[in-house]
Structure 1
Amino acid sequence: MLTKKGKYGLKAMAYLAKFTPGRPVPVAEIATTQNIPKKFLDSILCELRNSGYVSSKMGKGGGYTLARQPEQIIIGDIIRALDGPLAPLPCASKTRYQPCDDCGDVERCAIRLIMQEAQRALSEVLDSCTLAQARSLSDRVALCYDI
């Protein structure tokens, strides 16, 4: 399940994608417009900066900007940076596999096999969508509601 941290991170990144590259957006503006608690957003943006997704500028006129073009930022990667693996269970994870304590046969475990399928499907969707595509979808949905 996507955590609030992951959801808020995606919302902040989509908001930053609206702006001209290199134009810093103040944290308070992001927090207010996206309805995200500022203190929590500060922490999220720090993680995203450390992961190379945003850049920051301190002082007057400062704020955050995307570190790369929205077309180069994959939604699945943002979620992994904030929430960890996409797998619903550690035994279904490709990158952080851990067997379950109560599993007798990892290779034949029905729960693990179905969770691996779920992980593959989720990864396929989230890894094939860029921030630019998500932003475009958001704009189209907004236009539908404006009619």
Structure 2
Amino acid sequence: MLNMKSRYAMRALLYLAGRYGDGPVQIGEIADSQRIPRKFLTVILSELSREGIIGTKRGRAGGYWLEREPSAISYGDIVRITRGSLALVPCAARLAYEPCDNCVPESECHLRLVMLAVRDATADVLDRLTLADPLPGQVELQPERQAAPAQ
């Protein structure tokens, strides 16, 4: 299950992706438009800044912006930064592996095999989708077409 930190980070980054190239966006605008508590958003944006996902500038003309193109930021990147792993159980994590407490030996644990498959399927989807991708069910916006000149 995604924690609130990951969900808020995704919403904030999607908002910034929609304003990519427009300059800094103030934290109040992000918090208000996405209904994210401002204090929590400050912590999340700080973490994303340390990881090089967003840039920040203090002051009156300051704010936040994406440091990379939206197509270069996957949902998998966001979850790994904010949650640490895509795995639902510690014994299925790739980078943050830990044996599960009070569990049978891993060689006998059928649940671990299921959780490894879930982790891999989740990674396949989240690593493939980026902030630039239209989501299922969304209509991709097309640029305005100019009318052909009358002859």
| TM score, norm. by length of structure 1 | 0.89
1:87–1:93 Cα contact (<8 Å) kept: yes
Confirm whether residue 121 of structure 1 aligns to residue 99 of structure 2.
no
Partners of 2:121 and 2:20 lie apart in 1 by 33
Matched with 2:47 is 47
Return the letter of the residue paired with 1:6. Answer: S
Partner Cα distance (1:33, 1:138) in 2: 22
Distance in 2 (CA, whole Å) between partners of 1:4 and 1:54 is 19
Deviation at 1:60, TM superposition (A): 1.1
Residues 110 and 35 of structure 1, relative CA distance in 2, 3 Å threshold:
same
Q: Which residue of 1 aligns with 2:15?
A: 15
| Alignment root-mean-square deviation, CA | 1.8
Q: 1:140 Cα deviation (Å)?
A: 2.2
| SS in structure 2 at match of 1:132 | coil
Rate the CA distance shift 1:138–1:106 in 2: closer, same or farther, 3 A.
closer
CA contact (8 A) 2:91 2:100 kept: yes
TM-score when scaled to structure 2? 0.87
Are the aligned partners of 1:91 and 1:98 in contact in 2 as well (CA < 8 Å)? yes
Amino acid at match of 2:43: S
The one-character-per-residue Cα deviations of 1:13-66 (angstroms, maximum 9, x if unpaired) are: 000001142610000000000000011101100000001100001101110000
**Number of residue equivalences:** 141
| Higher share in helix | 1
* 1:85–1:55 CA distance, 2 compared to 1 (3 A): same
| Cα distance between partner residues in 2 of 1:124 and 1:85 | 14
Note the C-alpha offset of 1:103.
2.9
Structure with max Cα Rg: 2
Shift of 1:111: 1.0
List runs of 5+ in structure 1 lacking aligned partners.
Answer: none
In 1, distance between residues paired with 2:87 and 2:20?
34
Letter in 1 for 2:63: G
Equivalents in 1 of 2:24, 2:136: separation in Å? 22
Q: Percent identity?
A: 44
Secondary structure, in 3 states, of the residue corresponding to 1:13?
helix
Number of the residue aligned with 1:57: 57
1:71 matched residue in structure 2: 71
Deviations 1:49-95 (A, max 9, x none): 00110000110111000010001111101111011101000001111
